[in-house]
Amino acid sequence: MKTASAWGGILTMVLMVSLPAYAKKDKGQAYQIQPTVTAEQAKAAVASALPQLSLGKPFTKQGKRGDIKLEVPLKWQDKVVGRVRLNPLTGEVLVKGQKLEVQKLSVAPEQAAAAVQKILPNFQAGSAWLGKQGEWKVPLLYQGAVITEISVHGQNGDILPDWKAAKDVSMFGR
């Protein structure tokens, strides 16, 4: 009798220990709604919006380590759809993901906006990938490098606002 209850206890313990490990593999990711818009349609939507892109007011913000970040918002139909980051020392466009720790601003934000305005006609839409919420992410390329991305709704093909960039514009773009 004692051996059967001991085995039952061991089995229960093994199950309790293994269940949380199994749950961690999922990492809380939910299932996506299957998009009805194809990647090519999303890319075409962004490509057709490129001539209508305009620039918002450039702004600077301070990073966690005291570094200066220089950004120019991209607008389409009065909504912020992305942002272009620039080197605060030289005013050159930064590749998406490129990090600089610059402690001072050497370029006026207006000069940065003029530099982005000059290259804006050379932006191209890249190949789309599926985002976490079932939206398409379409990269904007300049000279073959990704500088930002624009989101496209997976169900109706509308270009979506970039809420994080819009929040930064409202906080820092006075």
Question: Is the residue at 3 inside a domain?
Answer: no
pTM: 0.78
Average pLDDT, the chain: 86
Question: Is the residue at 22 inside a domain?
Answer: no
Question: Is the residue at 23 inside a domain?
Answer: no
What's the pLDDT score for residue 37? 93
What's the pLDDT score for residue 64? 83
In the chain, count H helices and then E strands: 4, 8
CA 26 to chain centre: 23
Q: Give 75-87 pLDDT, tens digit per residue.
A: 999 999 999 999 9
Is residue 100 very low, low, confident or very high in pLDDT (cuts 50, 70, 90)?
A: confident
Phi then psi for residue 42, to 5 deg, are -65, -45
Residue 165 neighbours by CB distance under 10 Å: 22
Question: Is the residue at 29 inside a domain?
Answer: no
Question: Is the residue at 62 inside a domain?
Answer: yes
Q: Give 17-36 pLDDT, tens digit per residue.
A: 544 444 445 555 666 678 89
Q: What is the CA radius of gyration of the chain?
A: 23
Where in the sequence is the domain holding 117, given as residue range(s)?
39-172
Question: Is the residue at 54 inside a domain?
Answer: yes
Q: How many domains, the chain? A: 1
Question: Is the residue at 21 inside a domain?
Answer: no
Model confidence at 4: pLDDT above 90? no
Question: Is the residue at 10 inside a domain?
Answer: no
